[in-house]
Amino acid sequence: MIPDKKVISVRNLVKKFGSFVANDNLSFEVCEGEIFGFLGANGAGKTTAIRILSGLSSPTSGEVIVAGFDAHKQPEQIKKNIGYMCQKFSLYEDLTVKENIMLYGGIYGIRKQVIRERTQSLLERLNFAEYGDRLIAALPLGLKQKLAFSVAVLHEPKIVFLDEPTGGVDPITRRQFWEMIYETASRGITVFVTTHYMDEAEYCDRISIMNEGKIVALDTPAGLKKQYNVDSVEEVFIRITRPGKN
Amino acid sequence: MADIPIISVSNLSKSFGDVRALKDISFSVNEGDIFGFIGPDGAGKTTLFRIITTLLLPDKGEVTVMGADCKKNYKEVRRNIGYMPGRFSLYMDLTVEENLNFYAIVFGTTVKKNYDLIAEIYSQIEPFKNRLAGRLSGGMKQKLALSCALIHKPALLVLDEPTTGVDAVSRAEFWEMLRNLKKYNITILVSTPYMDEAMRCDRVALIQGGQLLSVDPPEKIRDKFSRKLFSIKAFEKYKLIMALREYPGTFTAYPFGDSVHVTFKNDMYDASLKDFLAGKGVTEVLVTETKAGIEDRFLELMEKK
């Protein structure tokens, strides 16, 4: 992680839908190579913020710079410089592993020769050689997740957004996945994780917690646990989003 | 009836074509327990629950619920079970109240008769009783589905991944609701892919690849971890993991939240560890002995398979 190199810089971001304020004056920064957890209860405003950060929606007001581009004026450049993985929808089930890689490589405008080279090295790195010609539908969940992640960073984006990346897999597969995330971050790619599973949050360098449109906490997992004097991020989350009940 | 288990499963096997979903499974569940099945997707949890709820037939083995055979006496078994499948089986085009009434009538009872049992849960969604189930939030659907599964006052409640996809606050509330049901002496069978939920159960079965890895009270699972476990932190986590894997004294090294959980071949480490790590460029290293959690034990059991 390089603390003084910011790849996401958000200042006073406001997003309104009519009179409803979905993002209420958000300000935060994310560094190059950082693993940043973006947490919040359902309806807290996470999805709205991510859509803005990934160039799919424009802010009502405030400054949002992603990978050096302005979310107001340059959403197309933002899209080219980010990757996105969500557990359910990122791969085409009725295409093979190789076909999926070709498709995504093509969408991101990578030259055919380069796609071929990257496909080869990717299959080797994942010990995937025997799976190259298999349909996605026939792969175990753990392999699908690893492949989906690899495809999301195929074009070497500045930032990759992960939506609940490790739900439902066994503890070993899950750790192999986090090691891939660490490896990616160590190459300088920023990993932006959204999840409502607090045990995933424990793996991040820093986390933010949203509640009712605002960021109400932002620190390292250890820092937050210390501040609230509890043992897990889950307890921090419950203290913040359900005050008075615990 | 303390001696008769509510559920008794012996030598149960089930295959789908070439896939062996359950391999020779045996366990029993005592009355009044919250019994958890913890394992990843594809471990066999749903298949097992479908057999217990008489929705699937086993290939081999005996399964009884309150002494009644799940194959021969399936009608009797069904009367005693409240089942909440993974995707809530609510009728989305009926209202909240209509759903509840429907489940009561199907089981030959009325909402009024057993209202005390669901009062605490249902009262939270009662203000929306005229809303269509399809228009409820996830947390509210979950509460309605639980009310529907309970309305005939079953002796056994079977919940298949009730907390998957639900936010942390709703998850905590859901476990509180289950705890509160203990006073009615309802036995609860519940599955989850989340290891941290094990601590909420009286007994826990760890399941992986169709096989039971262990069945124990949660605190015992942790105690059974067979080695000394160390938590190691450093500024650069990835470098730390890679270096630990190369260190000759390391037995296992897994990332674990903000640290790496490590066991050593001799159950201890010496000064050579920090020297080795420093040689790999890993600095600011902090080593502490730690207590194993459910997930550590699950990993250990998986390695032995």
Per-residue pLDDT reduced to its tens digit, B186-229: 999 999 988 888 899 999 999 999 999 999 999 999 999 999 99
**Mutate which of B19, B38, B41, B294 to disrupt the A interface (most A C-beta within 10 Å)?**
B41
ipTM computed for the complex = 0.85
CB distance from A28 to chain B under 8 Å?
A: no
The pLDDT assigned to B255 comes to: 95
Nearest Cα to B47, choosing from B14, B2, B92?
B14
When the pLDDT of each residue in chain A is averaged and rounded to a whole number, the result is 91
| Residues A143 and A38 reside in one and the same domain | no
Name the residue type at position A228.
Y
Same domain, A24 and A129: no
Selecting from B40, B238, B256 the residue whose C-beta is nearest the C-beta of A186 gives B238
Task: Give the CA distances from residue A133 to residues A105, A108, A128, B185, in Å, rounded to whole numbers and listed in that order.
Answer: 17, 22, 10, 54
A174 and A59 in a common domain: yes
Nearest to B44 by CA among B173, B203, B213: B213
pLDDT score of B34 more than 70: yes
Do residue B40 and residue A173 have CB atoms under 8 angstroms apart?
yes
Tokens of B6: 């509510």
Interchain contact, B167 vs A234, CB within 8 Å: no
Confidence at residue A243, expressed as pLDDT on a 0 to 100 scale: 64
Residue A136 parent element (H or E): none
Residue A246 domain-assigned (yes or no): no
Euclidean distance between CA atoms B2 and B6, whole angstroms: 9
The pLDDT value given to residue B1? 47
Query: Is it the case that residue B59 has pLDDT exceeding 70?
Result: yes
State whether A148 and A165 are in the same domain.
no
Partner residue facing B167 (CB), from A141, A196, A222: A196
Is pLDDT of A244 > 90? no
- Top residue of A145, A175, A195, A203 to mutate, by most chain B CBs within 10 Å, is A175
Does A211 fall in a domain? yes
Domain shared by A162 and A236, yes or no: yes
Please indicate, yes or no, whether residues A109 and A136 belong to a single structural domain of this protein. Answer: yes
Q: Which residues of B make CB contacts under 8 Å with A?
A: 39-43, 137-139, 164, 166-169, 172, 193-196, 208, 236-239, 241, 254-258, 295, 298-299, 302
Q: Say what angle helices A171-186 and B237-246 make with each other, to 10 degrees.
A: 120
> Is A5 within 8 Å of A31 (Cβ atoms)?
yes
A23 lies in which domain range?
2-81+158-241
Reduced 3-state DSSP string for A41-85: CCCCCHHHHHHHHCCCCCCCEEEEEECCEECCCCHHHHHHCEEEE
Q: Looking at residue B280, what is its pLDDT?
A: 95
Give B261's contacts (C-beta < 8 A, 6+ positions apart).
Answer: B229, B230, B231, B232, B252, B253, B254, B255, B290, B296
Closest approach of B86 to chain A, Cα-based (Å): 13
Q: Do A220 and B193 touch (CB under 8 A)?
A: no
Residue A190 lies in a domain: yes
Percent of chain B with pLDDT over 70: 99
Using CA atoms, how far apart are residues B250 and B264, in angstroms rounded to an integer?
Answer: 5
Same domain, A34 and A73: yes
Q: What is the DSSP secondary-structure string of A19-34?
A: TEEEEEEEEEEEEET-
Q: Where are the domains of chain B?
A: 7-217, 229-304
CA distance A3 to chain B (A): 13
**A171-180, A194-203, B293-302: lowest mean pLDDT where?**
A194-203
The pLDDT value given to residue B87? 79
Q: Do A135 and A96 contact (CB within 8 A), yes or no?
A: yes
- Chain-centroid distance, C-alpha B21: 17
Q: State pTM to two decimals.
A: 0.86
Banded pLDDT at A246 (limits 50, 70, 90):
very low
Confidence label for B15 from pLDDT (cuts 50, 70 and 90): very high
Which residue in chain A has the smallest CA separation from B259? Answer: A203
Q: What pLDDT was estimated at residue A89? A: 60
CB nearest to B302's CB, from A170, A203, A222: A170
Give the Cβ contact number of residue B170 at 10 Å: 20
Contacts of A43 in chain B (CB under 8 A): 137
Residue B271 clears pLDDT 70, i.e. is over it: yes
- Residues A126, A168, single domain; the answer is no
Using pLDDT thresholds of 50, 70 and 90, give the confidence band for residue A60: very high
User: Which percentage of chain A shows pLDDT scores above 70?
Assistant: 97
**How many whole angstroms separate alpha carbon B90 and alpha carbon B100?**
9
Size of interface A-B (CB pairs under 8 A): 86
Write the DSSP symbol of residue B132: B
CB contact under 8 A, B241 and A182: yes
Give the CATH number of the domain where residue A49 resides: 3.40.50.300
Please state which CATH class domain B7-217 belongs to. alpha beta
Residue numbers in A near B169 (CB within 8 A): 41, 237-238, 241-242
| CATH topology (fold) of B229-304 | Alpha-Beta Plaits (3.30.70)
Of B137, B172, B257, the CB nearest to A202: B257
At a CB cut-off of 8 Å and minimum separation 6, what does B135 contact? none
Percent above pLDDT 90 for chain B: 83
Q: What is the pLDDT of residues A108-167, one digit of tens each?
A: 999 999 999 999 999 998 888 889 999 998 888 888 889 999 999 999 999 999 988 877
- Within chain A, where are the H helices? 46-53, 75-80, 97-107, 112-125, 141-152, 171-186, 198-201, 221-228, 233-241
Reported as a single tens digit per residue, the pLDDT across B112-155 is: 999 999 999 999 999 999 999 999 988 889 899 999 999 999 99
* Cβ–Cβ < 8 Å for B30, B43: no
Helix/strand/coil percentages in chain B, nearest 5: 35, 30, 35
- Chain B: nearest CA to A172, how far in angstroms? 7
Name the amino acid, one letter, at B83: Y
Is 90 exceeded by the pLDDT of residue B3? Answer: no
Comparing alpha-carbon positions, the chain B residue that sits nearest to A200 is B257
Other C-beta atoms lying within 10 Å of the C-beta of residue A107: 10
Max Cα distance, chain B (Å): 73
pLDDT value for B2: 52
* Tally of domains in chain A: 2
Same domain, A22 and A139: no
Distance from CA of A95 to the nearest CA of B (A): 22
* B7-217 and B229-304 agree in CATH topology: no
Question: In sequence order, what are the residues at sequence separation of 6 or more whose Cβ sits closer than 8 angstroms to the Cβ of residue A147?
Answer: A91, A97, A100, A126, A128, A136, A139
**Considering A156, A182, A213, which residue would you say is the last residue of a domain?**
A156
Residue of B nearest to A241 (CA): B169
Same domain, A142 and A26: no
Same domain, A25 and A134: no
**Closest chain B residue to A198, measured at CA:** B168
Same structural domain, A11 and A39: yes
Cβ pair B228, B268 in contact under 8 A: yes
Residue A237 lies in a domain: yes
| Rounded distance between C-alpha atoms, residue B162 and residue B142, angstroms | 7
